[in-house]
């Protein structure tokens, strides 16, 4: 459970380090996530349902960005 309030801005994208809502193009599962870096500094995004993963260069191709999650005060 998160503390505080959150606001989801649909049809918007934010910075890589901000949490987003993604939709997998393979299984249509929607999930919250951030694009995380690994030890090689490659940016990775993984679907928790079907295990599709993608190395992100600028914009994801296997995942649709549904919206960005912001902390609302």
Predicted confidence (pLDDT) per residue in 11-62, tens digit: 888 887 788 999 999 999 999 888 766 556 668 888 999 989 998 877 788 9
Q: Evaluate whether 13 touches 58 at the Cβ level (below 8 Å).
A: no
Q: What is the pTM of this model?
A: 0.77
Would the pLDDT of 8 be above 60?
A: yes
Q: Evaluate whether 33 touches 17 at the Cβ level (below 8 Å).
A: no
Predicted confidence (pLDDT) per residue in 10-19, tens digit: 988 888 778 8
3-state helix, strand, coil in the chain (%, to 5): 0, 50, 50
H or E, element range at 45: strand 43-46
| Straight-line distance from the first to the last Cα atom of the chain, in angstroms, rounded to the nearest whole number | 17
């Amino acid at each position: 459970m998160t503390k505080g309030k959150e606001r989801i801005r649909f049809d918007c994208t934010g910075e890589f380090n901000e949490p987003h809502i993604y939709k997998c193009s393979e299984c249509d599962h929607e999930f919250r996530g951030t694009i995380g870096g690994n030890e090689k500094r490659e940016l990775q995004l993984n679907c928790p349902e079907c295990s599709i993963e993608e190395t992100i260069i600028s914009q994801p191709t296997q995942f649709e960005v549904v919206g960005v999650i912001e902390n609302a005060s």
